[in-house]
Structure 1
Amino acid sequence: MKGWRGLAVGAAALAVAVAGCGTSSDGGSGNSGEPKTLTVWLMDGSAPTTLTDALNKEFQDAHPGVTVKYEVQKWNGIQEKLTTALTSNNPPDVIELGNTQTAKFAAEETLLDLSGDVSGLNGDQWLSGLEDSLTWDGKQYGMPFYAANRTVIYRTDLFEAAGVTAAPKSRDEWISAIEKLKAANAADPEFQPLYLPGQSWYALLSFIWDEGGDVAKPQGSAWAGALDTPQAKAGLEFYKKLVDTSGTKAPKDADEATPQQMEVFATGKVGMMIGLPWELAGAVKANPELKEKTSAFPIPSKTSGKTAPVFLGGSNLAIPAGSKNADLAKEYLKLLSSKKYQDMLAEGGAVPGTSTDTAKLATTPLGKALAESAPNGKVTPTTPSWAAVESGQNPLKDMLTAYLTGAKPLDQASADANTALSKTLGG
């Protein structure tokens, strides 16, 4: 999956993999006072050191004789590294997983079933979209850690100059804002009211979900594509309308990483982009003048006053099935799920995964947009097969390019993509 760690680190999207193999001590679980080592793997950029230093100290103070062996891992190579570690005799005790990776390891029975521990891990506060990513075969295999979602990042000065007096609250108002920006900057042939690459399929998900559709549905023990439904097609039609209206010069056969859309936004010739917090941070780093000229609003719904559902990229926390300190690991997760540490995540710019209190996040315009839209968030189909969709010849990207370029009409583009998606998912 593509995860994120926000403005606190200004990092890039999550890729895949881990460095260094931690080992657990052989002292068993529980808290009887004998020396034990709790090995914790969190990913690079996931949590600020202020949080982890305080967390590990508080945990060790409350558990005499226990040492937290905290290891920061790299995303590059994480899936292969975890596959090896989780099947070894000495796996780590707490691990961080991308939320589209969790189903794979749960299906392989290398994660501990935590269904009976949900309430103790503040399960009533879990962000519902991330909770879905923890579910496999009716059981829970971890707890949400943090998330981020896309918002519409925009230039406040350009909005004001174009007479757009308020952030759009519906799709129609969004289109109207685009048209006003286009008219106000008609003399500049390089200006783009909205930069929107043709293959921004994460943004497409919002429009499909907003129409009541989905990319795939469960079919027995597998999943089958749902891209050829009227709802999914309606989402595609709006995407095309947005591209056609936007004045975007983005390629129709590439996604937001080719070129990096934050670099395009940093040129100052763009009114809006649909992006993640780290992309805004990157644009501001490249062009500091943007710092006081940018804000954000949730991706609007077709229903005025509502936000469109958004894809929640982020991470989960789990306990390997082979952990020799499972009880201690559960207590560690319980402490991390508390409001104290969830607030610290929010202060760093992340959407806290186990707290519905987003007050600490909503202190900036971007944080406010994240907080407003996150409760309406979703994840991609919870199946080990989904990884092949993203890493292979992504049918959603092919569908978008074919439809936007006119190579295929809507019905054919969606039908072909649906067949390819069903084949990959095994449905």
Structure 2
Amino acid sequence: MKRKLIAAVGAAALTATMAACGSDDSSDGGGGSADSITVWLMSGSAPDPWVEELNAAFEEEHGVEVNVEIQQWEGIQDRLTTALSEDGTVDVLELGNTQAVGYANTGGLADLSELSEEPWTESMLESAVVDDTFYSIPWYGANRVVVYDQSIWAEAGAEVPTTRDEWIEALELIDENTEAEPIYLPGQTYYVMGGFVADEGGAFAAQNGDEWEGTLNSPEVEAGLGFYGELQEFSDAPTDIDEGEPQQSTDVVPNGDVASWVGLPWEVVNATTAIEEAGGEADWGFFPVPGKTADELGHVFLGGSNLAVAERAGDQELARAWLEMATSQEWSQRFNDAMDGTVVPNRSDVTAEPAAGTFAEAMVASADVGFLPPLTPGWANVEVEPNPIKDLMTKVLNGEDFSSVAEEADTEMTTRLNRE
């Protein structure tokens, strides 16, 4: 089942110029008196049958109509900014998890603290809470795993690694014993690199009082990028591109002899489809990104989506009721089952038992060591090209001095993080 998760997994853009969305007496819509509510969901996020069954159950219980409006990720920032600054445009909305804190900070989202005691997946909560207040609820997560061609690895005599060192050893065997590219890894895949930084205890940025500052010029970032560089030496990919241009799953992997790559669930679906359409057969295996030692997996960027209630919703009471039902144990379990293991569950009481050897098994295994970028509206400014983290990676991989390049990048990061 094809599910386009990329925009939710990638850190979504969010400007800091959103109009303040203060609450007033009309924000509760009169306490559940509306005859309909409007729900914004993103294209590809939820299977149609799940949405239809959920809404039928809600409508039967509450006697109101649910109008679901499917949104596209492209341009969603501007549409959300407008909708959340107006009364009654949307009641419940889906947000990329890196968007949620920014909209909460600008007053656009309602306080959902009454749902704080539910057994939410711990690694997803950081994006839902601001100053100990819940402004959104985790809906689903997804993270990258290592995808490998089992036949090439068998030819090379390489085994699935459990540590970083074993990962390098496997790539060396593939390089020595086959004609395949051991790993496809462009020089600017910075969320993969960020996981290695998190393994070292580092981060891209940190909050200092009311301000944010870049923390790239640190031993932790240098070590994380150093390991990324070790992997990248086994790749033929340029150092000045990321995994999206060209898209690795459709433009690279199906058209070359690639032994392994780091990808998301939707990318595996697309790569498999492209290979089969060309008359081939995919022979994938999957393993979590290894950690420094065998007793802890490597950190991975945990993307995904949250659900929230607009502060200016036409009817907050009904909106909260819909969100509470949608994220209940029953409907979260149904959602997880409908997604066929392509997402990390939002609740610890949802049963997720993916089949052995599947992408889902490897993905769920890493969910507890997920990390997120700095959750601040200014993060969107960092991701605008030229991205200082990407530039840092390219320069260092091309042999420039880490400290001087990182110091320059931190100056730019700090400016962008605090820009209004």
TM score, norm. by length of structure 1: 0.88
State which of 77, 89, 92 in structure 2 corresponds to 1:91: 89
Call closer, same or farther: CA 1:182–1:93 in 2, change over 3 Å: same
* Equivalent pair of 1:351/1:361 in contact (CA under 8 Å): no
Call closer, same or farther: CA 1:346–1:87 in 2, change over 3 Å: same
1:240 aligns with 2:236: no
Post-superposition Cα deviations, 1:361-410, rounded to whole Å, max 9, x if no partner, equal: 4566100011000121111111110111112421110000000112x212
Counterparts of 1:180-259 in structure 2 under 5 Å? 180-185=173-178, 188=179, 191-244=180-233, 246=234, 248-259=235-246
Report percent identity of matched pairs. Answer: 39
* Equivalent pair of 1:133/1:382 in contact (CA under 8 Å): yes
Of 268-277 and 334-343, more deviation after overlay is shown by 334-343
Deviation at 1:299, TM superposition (A): 0.6
Partner residue in 2 for 1:398: 391
1:274 aligns with 2:262: yes
Counterpart-to-counterpart distance in 1, 2:321 and 2:336:
22
Partner residue in 1 for 2:57: 58
Counterparts of 1:319-398 in structure 2 under 5 Å? 319-347=309-337, 348=339, 349-355=342-348, 357=350, 359-361=352-354, 365-398=358-391
Call closer, same or farther: CA 1:425–1:25 in 2, change over 3 Å: closer
Deviation at 1:340, TM superposition (A): 2.9
* Equivalent pair of 1:44/1:73 in contact (CA under 8 Å): yes
Partner residue in 2 for 1:28: 30
Counterpart-to-counterpart distance in 1, 2:315 and 2:145:
40
Deviation at 1:145, TM superposition (A): 1.1
Deviation at 1:235, TM superposition (A): 0.6
Partner residue in 2 for 1:423: 415
State which of 92, 100, 103 in structure 1 corresponds to 2:101: 103
Deviation at 1:352, TM superposition (A): 2.1
Deviation at 1:28, TM superposition (A): 2.7
Counterpart-to-counterpart distance in 1, 2:197 and 2:280:
32
Secondary structure (helix, strand or coil) at the match of 1:192 reads coil
Deviation at 1:10, TM superposition (A): 4.9
Structure 2 residue identity aligned to 1:285 = T
1:307 aligns with 2:297: yes
Partner residue in 2 for 1:286: 274
State which of 164, 180, 188 in structure 2 corresponds to 1:171: 164
Call closer, same or farther: CA 1:266–1:104 in 2, change over 3 Å: same
Call closer, same or farther: CA 1:371–1:11 in 2, change over 3 Å: closer
Deviation at 1:199, TM superposition (A): 0.3
Partner residue in 1 for 2:17: none
* Equivalent pair of 1:223/1:425 in contact (CA under 8 Å): yes
Deviation at 1:291, TM superposition (A): 5.4
* Equivalent pair of 2:148/2:259 in contact (CA under 8 Å): yes
Counterpart-to-counterpart distance in 1, 2:28 and 2:196:
50
Counterpart-to-counterpart distance in 2, 1:352 and 1:204:
25
* Equivalent pair of 1:210/1:302 in contact (CA under 8 Å): yes
Post-superposition Cα deviations, 1:328-366, rounded to whole Å, max 9, x if no partner, equal: 222212211123332333331122223454524456610
Partner residue in 1 for 2:40: 41
Secondary structure (helix, strand or coil) at the match of 1:270 reads coil
Counterpart-to-counterpart distance in 2, 1:377 and 1:290:
34
Counterpart-to-counterpart distance in 2, 1:296 and 1:283:
14
Counterpart-to-counterpart distance in 1, 2:7 and 2:273:
16
Q: Which runs of 4+ in 1 moved over 4 A?
A: 14-17, 24-27, 289-292, 360-364
Call closer, same or farther: CA 1:26–1:317 in 2, change over 3 Å: closer
Structure 1 residue identity aligned to 2:254 = A
Partner residue in 2 for 1:134: 128
Deviation at 1:107, TM superposition (A): 1.4
Deviation at 1:40, TM superposition (A): 0.8
Structure 1 residue identity aligned to 2:303 = G
Secondary structure (helix, strand or coil) at the match of 1:387 reads helix
Q: CA RMSD in A?
A: 2.2
1:150 aligns with 2:148: no
Counterpart-to-counterpart distance in 1, 2:90 and 2:131:
24
Give the count of matched residue pairs: 399
Secondary structure (helix, strand or coil) at the match of 1:152 reads strand
* Equivalent pair of 2:272/2:282 in contact (CA under 8 Å): no
* Equivalent pair of 2:7/2:73 in contact (CA under 8 Å): no
Counterpart-to-counterpart distance in 2, 1:105 and 1:85:
11
TM score, norm. by length of structure 2: 0.89
Secondary structure (helix, strand or coil) at the match of 2:183 reads strand
Structure 1 residue identity aligned to 2:242 = D
Secondary structure (helix, strand or coil) at the match of 2:31 reads coil
Partner residue in 1 for 2:248: 261
Secondary structure (helix, strand or coil) at the match of 1:113 reads coil
